[in-house]
Chains A and B, each alone.
Chain A
Amino acid sequence: MTAYVIRRVWQMIPTIFGVILLIFILFNWVGGDPAQVLAGKISNPDQIANIRRQLGVDQPYWVQLLIFVKQVFTFDFGRSWSTNEEVSHIILTRVGPTLTIMLPVLFITTGLSVLFAVLVAYVRGTLTDRMVMIACTVAMSISFLVYIIVFQWLFGFILGWFPVQGWSESFWKNLTYYAPLPIMLAVFVGVAPELRLYRSFFLDEIHQDYVRTARAKGVPEKGVMLKHVMRNALIPILTNVGIALPGVFVGSFLLEVFFSVPGLGREVVTAVNRSDFPVIKAVTVYLAIITMVINLLVDVMYKFVDPRVSFK
């Protein structure tokens, strides 16, 4: 297995380099001269000159690329073009609030989706099944924005159960007072597509030969579902969760924007608005690396979930 991990890490290197290259091309080449980009956003000419020097704008592209690579590996992207806060500091402080919301969302959504998917798969083909599926489709077609606007208005403004916006310094207060409404919102919206997906996983498994064997052995239908099918369906479900895991770090930027949560997602949106390239570049590159690491961990975990997987 060590050989497998080493090989994977080795394979990550060209990809990481590719990401760096992509971001570089996008922001340094296509994006171009910060002077033009920031025109109208920053009035101080000295500041702009400073930025240009740091980026090495007047130097040949490969030098600029080297500067960028160095930045990535020393975790030093300089300062935000708009707030002048250190970019590394920005990233580290914003991750917390994002995770405070996103981790509960991930767990609760997955749990509920799997539960409902099993129930719906159990009654497949019936009217209930079709109604639930259509309800999901309709629910998914309403824009997330509409949900946020309505929920905020209903639960925060009209009913006053939760604050409409805000965040505090205390973790516990955040978790129990400020986070619930956004979490509830994300779960409500997130269950529908996952329910559909997981239901299809269950149905795929139900039609397999080994299910027929289980029935032939006299296993009652409930046992077939909960033991045989579930255990197999867990494989694609975990794949799905694994794919969603990196997204947890960016969080739902819409939620953070609407609810004024000082998270990484909102930070990126603000950065886009202000053309604050260093922030965007840094977040992108680091999240790409985190994604690759998470993928590796998920793949390793596969061995325990799917006995057919072997590491060569």
Chain B
Amino acid sequence: MSAQSPLVQIQDLDIRFRLDRKSEPFHAVKGISFDIPQDATVALVGESGSGKSVSAMAILGLLPENAIVAPRSRILYGGRDLLRAPMREMQQIRGKELSVIFQEPMTSLNPVFPVGEQIGEVLRLHMGMGIRQAQARAVELLNEVGIPNPQLRVNSYPHEMSGGQQQRVMIAMAIACEPKLLIADEPTTALDVTIQKQILDLIAALQERHRMSVLFITHDLGVVGEIADRVVVMQEGEIREQGTVDAIFRHPRDAYTKALLACRPRLDRRPMRLPVIDDFLKGEGRVHLEERRRGTSASDAIILEVKNLDKTFFLKEGLFGKRAVPAVKDVSFRLAKGKTLGVVGESGSGKTTVGLTVMRLHEATGGEVLFEGRNLLSLTEREMMAYRRRIQIIFQNPYASLNPRFTVGEILLEPMRIHGIGKDERERIDMALQLLRRVGLPEASFHKYPHEFSGGQRQRIAIARCLTMKPDVLICDESVSALDVSVQAQVLNLLQDLQDEYRLSYIFISHDLAVVKYISDRVMVMNDGVVVEMADSDEIYRNPQQEYTRRLLASIPKGLQRARELET
């Protein structure tokens, strides 16, 4: 890092959004200031709604039409205030001196032009290159970002490439004109863990090679630890803390920062309860020292046994034919009563399909699911009804798993009515209210609609819905993946409490290795529809046997670990 003047200086940035004619504008960024030094990586960290993306977009003047920037705000670059620069000037800077890559590469690339042409566009626009010259340079760039066969791929369309490759194309477009600053807005959030690592390495390598600054926006502190020099922590439009990575990770001063650091499940320790941001903000935050032991033993009672499960999807293809897509191949496992089985894998591994097939939300093409001795897959729908209440599922997307037109009360009462739980409506309402309390929601929620709740709260409602039927097995299909770190910790704690209290058995499906290790007794690793490895959780993380498992574990961002090492 150099002691030169900073590349970009953000001063007192204040942004509001006009929502509609009647309401108050939404105050997204409340007067923040920070610098981006030259030749350095700054991580802008925060949860959803913190205003981090908005702040970054303001640098390039890419705010939506209803944004209002306060007159006193300034963004200084190269001797001028970007917020006041005329459009013509901004257009000359964008893509040339300051560039951006976004979170969703599939939609961020224009679907109707080949990638070579899109990369070439920046070159033609800013470097005055001709078509052929630009095309040649595009090939070089594709090579630099690690796309195999660049000569061929330069004529491909975005949809013909994988997510990781699309992101590389975006990066190629962004560095084509050797910018001074690259803004990366959650570039790896939508990618698989192994691909994420590759992209992070690429960005780090490019940063060094081209000596450019990088503003990296993320919610993942692990990533931050790996790549950043400086960290800026934001919450609800304000900066809570900023400093060097060492300072932030070693001596966090702000309660929120401390909470963020502590809430993530760690790979090396397993406290009884995860600390929660609210605890920290109230000043009561501390990390539980007592650890929870996890594991299975041969004497555990088995509540669910899956044998040779197969699920193949058939798609129409060709003139009359069908194409078989095997999603789950010969999967077998056992679930011990009162314990948690973690199922880990990347997208396409079949882990979600396993969960849905066990519940018969998909019809299996082969195998058995033995519950209390009966094969669920062979039951008729009517016979299945009796078992439906015993195995329940919580889905990933809290915004889609509750019917937007039902009140919370209706959502909770429906399963009870279907299964005849409770002798009359009155009793059912009582039970519903009790459950709401149990999951930590106010009773008044009963009359409200889902859209009035946050993601974490909706997951709690989903959990309550499952509990109305007093199930034995709960399948959590990426149930905390869509939640912010702090909320995630709350929901995980809730799930653990419920397991302790009701002796529930969980099948916990996730791609997040740290979370899985924290909550599971036994872990099953899946890839491409098959079980790669299965062992007790401590064992598998300590001593992975299979190549794929090792690769998976190696991709976990080590940032937090580095922090721990610094700590001690």
Footprint of B on A, CB under 8 Å?
3, 6-7, 125, 208-210, 212-221, 228, 231-232, 235, 306-308, 312
Report yes or no: A6 in contact with B99, Cβ–Cβ below 8 A: no
Report yes or no: A210 in contact with B319, Cβ–Cβ below 8 A: no
Instruction: Label chain A's interface by main secondary structure.
Output: helix
Q: B313 at interface (Cβ–Cβ under 8 A)? A: no
Query: When chains A and B are docked, how far (Å) is the Cα of A236 from the Cα of B35?
Result: 45
**Do A208 and B62 contact each other (CB < 8 Å), given the known contacts A6-B319, A307-B159?**
no
Tell me the smallest distance from the CB of B318 to a CB of chain A, in Å: 7
Chain B residue at smallest Cβ distance from A223: B125
Report yes or no: A218 in contact with B122, Cβ–Cβ below 8 A: yes
19 more A-B residue pairs beyond the given contacts A213-B102, A213-B170, A220-B91, with a C-beta to C-beta distance below 8 A: A3-B318, A125-B65, A208-B107, A210-B110, A213-B100, A213-B110, A215-B62, A215-B94, A216-B94, A217-B94, A217-B121, A218-B90, A218-B126, A219-B91, A219-B95, A232-B112, A307-B111, A308-B111, A308-B159
Query: When chains A and B are docked, how far (Å) is the Cα of A234 from the Cα of B429?
Result: 55
Query: When chains A and B are docked, how far (Å) is the Cα of A217 from the Cα of B60?
Result: 10
Which B residues between 329 and 345 are near A, CB-CB below 8 angstroms? none
Contacts of A218 in B (CB 8 A): 90-96, 122, 125-126
Query: When chains A and B are docked, how far (Å) is the Cα of A212 from the Cα of B320?
Result: 42
Q: B317 at interface (Cβ–Cβ under 8 A)? A: yes
Query: When chains A and B are docked, how far (Å) is the Cα of A125 from the Cα of B157?
Result: 33
Query: When chains A and B are docked, how far (Å) is the Cα of A235 from the Cα of B111?
Result: 11
**Do A216 and B104 contact each other (CB < 8 Å), given the known contacts A210-B110, A231-B113, A308-B159?**
no
Query: When chains A and B are docked, how far (Å) is the Cα of A208 from the Cα of B122?
Result: 19
Query: When chains A and B are docked, how far (Å) is the Cα of A7 from the Cα of B99?
Result: 47
Report yes or no: B109 in contact with A210, Cβ–Cβ below 8 A: yes
Chain A residue at smallest Cβ distance from B183: A216
Contacts of B112 in A (CB 8 A): 231-232, 235, 306-307
Q: B173 at interface (Cβ–Cβ under 8 A)? A: yes
Tell me the smallest distance from the CB of B376 to a CB of chain A, in Å: 35
Footprint of A on B, CB under 8 Å?
60, 62, 65, 87-88, 90-96, 99-100, 102, 104, 107-113, 121-122, 125-126, 157, 159, 170, 173, 316-320
| Selected A-B contacts with CB under 8 Å, 9 pairs | A209-B102, A213-B170, A218-B93, A218-B122, A306-B111, A307-B157, A308-B159, A312-B316, A312-B318
Query: When chains A and B are docked, how far (Å) is the Cα of A183 from the Cα of B109?
Result: 41
Task: For A212, give its contact among B99, B108, B122, B317 (CB under 8 Å).
Answer: B108
Contacts of B317 in A (CB 8 A): 312
Contacts of A231 in B (CB 8 A): 110, 112-113
Tell me the smallest distance from the CB of A280 to a CB of chain B, in Å: 36
Contacts of B109 in A (CB 8 A): 210, 213
Report yes or no: A228 in contact with B110, Cβ–Cβ below 8 A: yes
Tell me the smallest distance from the CB of A236 to a CB of chain B, in Å: 12
Contacts of B104 in A (CB 8 A): 209
- Which 7 pairs, one residue from A and one from B, show the smallest C-beta to C-beta distance? A217-B95, A218-B94, A218-B95, A209-B107, A210-B110, A216-B100, A307-B157
Contacts of B173 in A (CB 8 A): 213, 217
Contacts of B93 in A (CB 8 A): 218
Query: When chains A and B are docked, how far (Å) is the Cα of A53 from the Cα of B107?
Result: 64
Contacts of A208 in B (CB 8 A): 107
Tell me the smallest distance from the CB of B500 to a CB of chain A, in Å: 44
Contacts of A209 in B (CB 8 A): 102, 104, 107-108
Query: When chains A and B are docked, how far (Å) is the Cα of A312 from the Cα of B170?
Result: 29
Tell me the smallest distance from the CB of B344 to a CB of chain A, in Å: 30
Report yes or no: A232 in contact with B94, Cβ–Cβ below 8 A: no
Tell me the smallest distance from the CB of A221 to a CB of chain B, in Å: 8
**Do A210 and B121 contact each other (CB < 8 Å), given the known contacts A217-B94, A217-B95, A218-B92?**
no
Most interface-central of B107, B112, B113, B319 (chain A CB within 10 A): B112
Tell me the smallest distance from the CB of A223 to a CB of chain B, in Å: 8
Contacts of A216 in B (CB 8 A): 60, 62, 94-95, 99-100
Query: When chains A and B are docked, how far (Å) is the Cα of A249 from the Cα of B90?
Result: 51
Query: When chains A and B are docked, how far (Å) is the Cα of A219 from the Cα of B96?
Result: 11
Report yes or no: A232 in contact with B111, Cβ–Cβ below 8 A: yes
Contacts of B108 in A (CB 8 A): 209-210, 212-213
Tell me the smallest distance from the CB of B82 to a CB of chain A, in Å: 13
Contacts of A213 in B (CB 8 A): 100, 102, 108-110, 170, 173
Query: When chains A and B are docked, how far (Å) is the Cα of A308 from the Cα of B108?
Result: 15
Tell me the smallest distance from the CB of B474 to a CB of chain A, in Å: 36
Report yes or no: A308 in contact with B157, Cβ–Cβ below 8 A: yes
Query: When chains A and B are docked, how far (Å) is the Cα of A209 from the Cα of B125?
Result: 20
Contacts of A210 in B (CB 8 A): 107-111
Chain B residue at smallest Cβ distance from A306: B112
Tell me the smallest distance from the CB of A172 to a CB of chain B, in Å: 40
Query: When chains A and B are docked, how far (Å) is the Cα of A145 from the Cα of B319?
Result: 48
Query: When chains A and B are docked, how far (Å) is the Cα of A209 from the Cα of B65?
Result: 14
Query: When chains A and B are docked, how far (Å) is the Cα of A213 from the Cα of B187?
Result: 14
Chain A residue at smallest Cβ distance from B91: A218
Tell me the smallest distance from the CB of B288 to a CB of chain A, in Å: 42
Query: When chains A and B are docked, how far (Å) is the Cα of A219 from the Cα of B93?
Result: 10
Contacts of B87 in A (CB 8 A): 221
Chain B residue at smallest Cβ distance from A307: B157
Contacts of B122 in A (CB 8 A): 217-218
Contacts of A214 in B (CB 8 A): 110
Contacts of A306 in B (CB 8 A): 111-112
Query: When chains A and B are docked, how far (Å) is the Cα of A228 from the Cα of B173?
Result: 16
Query: When chains A and B are docked, how far (Å) is the Cα of A228 from the Cα of B317?
Result: 32
Query: When chains A and B are docked, how far (Å) is the Cα of A255 from the Cα of B319?
Result: 44
Contacts of A215 in B (CB 8 A): 62, 94
Report yes or no: B319 in contact with A7, Cβ–Cβ below 8 A: yes
Chain B residue at smallest Cβ distance from A208: B107
Chain A residue at smallest Cβ distance from B317: A312
Query: When chains A and B are docked, how far (Å) is the Cα of A215 from the Cα of B100?
Result: 10
Contacts of B99 in A (CB 8 A): 216-217
Tell me the smallest distance from the CB of B233 to a CB of chain A, in Å: 25
Query: When chains A and B are docked, how far (Å) is the Cα of A218 from the Cα of B88?
Result: 9
Contacts of B318 in A (CB 8 A): 3, 312
Query: When chains A and B are docked, how far (Å) is the Cα of A231 from the Cα of B109?
Result: 13
Chain B residue at smallest Cβ distance from A6: B319
Tell me the smallest distance from the CB of A237 to a CB of chain B, in Å: 13
Chain A residue at smallest Cβ distance from B94: A218
Task: For A232, give its contact among B91, B100, B110, B157 (CB under 8 Å).
Answer: B110
Contacts of B91 in A (CB 8 A): 218-220
Tell me the smallest distance from the CB of A273 to a CB of chain B, in Å: 47
Tell me the smallest distance from the CB of B214 to a CB of chain A, in Å: 15
Report yes or no: A219 in contact with B110, Cβ–Cβ below 8 A: no
Contacts of B96 in A (CB 8 A): 218
Chain A residue at smallest Cβ distance from B113: A231
Contacts of B111 in A (CB 8 A): 210, 232, 306-308
Query: When chains A and B are docked, how far (Å) is the Cα of A232 from the Cα of B125?
Result: 21
Report yes or no: A217 in contact with B125, Cβ–Cβ below 8 A: yes
Query: When chains A and B are docked, how far (Å) is the Cα of A7 from the Cα of B321?
Result: 11
Query: When chains A and B are docked, how far (Å) is the Cα of A197 from the Cα of B234?
Result: 43
Chain B residue at smallest Cβ distance from A215: B62
Query: When chains A and B are docked, how far (Å) is the Cα of A260 from the Cα of B107?
Result: 53
Report yes or no: B125 in contact with A219, Cβ–Cβ below 8 A: yes
Tell me the smallest distance from the CB of B154 to a CB of chain A, in Å: 15
Query: When chains A and B are docked, how far (Å) is the Cα of A210 from the Cα of B109?
Result: 5
Contacts of B94 in A (CB 8 A): 215-218
Tell me the smallest distance from the CB of A34 to a CB of chain B, in Å: 43
Query: When chains A and B are docked, how far (Å) is the Cα of A125 from the Cα of B159?
Result: 32
Chain A residue at smallest Cβ distance from B99: A216
Tell me the smallest distance from the CB of A310 to a CB of chain B, in Å: 9
Tell me the smallest distance from the CB of B66 to a CB of chain A, in Å: 10
Tell me the smallest distance from the CB of A8 to a CB of chain B, in Å: 11
Query: When chains A and B are docked, how far (Å) is the Cα of A208 from the Cα of B99?
Result: 19
Tell me the smallest distance from the CB of A137 to a CB of chain B, in Å: 21
Query: When chains A and B are docked, how far (Å) is the Cα of A97 from the Cα of B453?
Result: 63
Chain B residue at smallest Cβ distance from A217: B95
Contacts of A219 in B (CB 8 A): 91, 95, 121, 125
Chain A residue at smallest Cβ distance from B125: A218
